[in-house]
Structure 1
Amino acid sequence: MLNPLDNYFEQKDKPVKCCLQYLRLLLMDYSDITEHWKYGMPFYYHKGKMFCYLWIHKKLHQPYIGLVDGHQIEHEDLLQEKRARMKILLINHLEDIPKNKIESILNLAFDLRK
């Protein structure tokens, strides 16, 4: 039987599933990132503190990375919507994943923690 984290990814349909799995691997490539099951979703901690999570936008049906302290980051591709603290980066699962853009935004988020 799969753990809740693996089950979350397995139950998604392609190509959303492939996109989320790619994002998961990208995040787990960072040495200080750990993966947890929190609030019913995959959550990623940086040095023991909540950092980001992966989810699907309810209206747009697109995967996204939710950044916990995103409200402190200025980037044209981050959306605040009705969130107080979080901002999200939508990922179009039907196009090539913008790895460089994702990494540059993650680096901005890492810089907040220094």
Structure 2
Amino acid sequence: MEENINIYLKQDEPLQSCWLTLRSIIRKHDELITECVKYGSPCFLYRDKILCYLWKDKKSNQPYILFSDGNSLHHPVLDFKGRKKMKSMEVDPNKDIPIELVKEVLTQAIAVKNGKLSK
């Protein structure tokens, strides 16, 4: 657990606050969501399967949520950004986080994990 929180605390503002807020939104969304660190970034699991990551652009430091089942997620805020399977949702750390929008995409991603939306 200590490694999990340290990954957030090592970030400069405004990324740190943005990631901590996203962490809270994601963790509170479903009691079956747990977290770990993978590839040096926060990773969220649903029933022990990767749901999403918190990631940042290497050049701009702009944060985004990276969803693992991108091929099965269909939401206008999601983009492949050159990836083949994962889709991302950009988040502006200098503006209010669109909480309901994040929750919509999380709900869809969980439905895919539960087999309620086709993979």
Equivalent residue letter for 1:74:
H
Q: What is the alpha-carbon distance in structure 2 between the residues aligned to residue 111 and residue 60 of structure 1?
A: 32
Structure 2 residue 83 is the aligned partner of structure 1 residue 56: no
Say if 2:26 and 2:106, in contact at 8 Å, map to a contact too: no
Q: Distance in 2 between matches of 1:61 and 1:14?
A: 10
The residue identity in structure 2 corresponding to 1:8 is: I
Q: Secondary structure at the match of 1:79?
A: coil
Letter of the 2:3 counterpart? P
Residue of structure 2 in register with 1:4 after alignment: 3
Secondary structure at 1:12's aligned position in 2?
coil
Unmatched 5+ residue regions in structure 1? Answer: none
Matching of residue 108 in structure 1 with residue 97 in structure 2 = no
3-state SS of paired residue (1:17) = helix
CA RMSD of aligned residues (A): 1.4
TM-score, scaled to structure 2: 0.87
- Where do 1:73-112 residues align within 5 Å? 73-112=73-112
Count how many residue pairs are aligned between Structure 1 and Structure 2: 113
| 1:84 Cα deviation from its structure 2 partner | 1.2
Q: Which amino acid aligns with 1:21?
A: L
Shift of 1:35: 0.5
Which segments of 5 or more consecutive residues in structure 2 lack a partner in the other structure?
Answer: 115-119
The normalised TM-score by structure 1 is 0.91
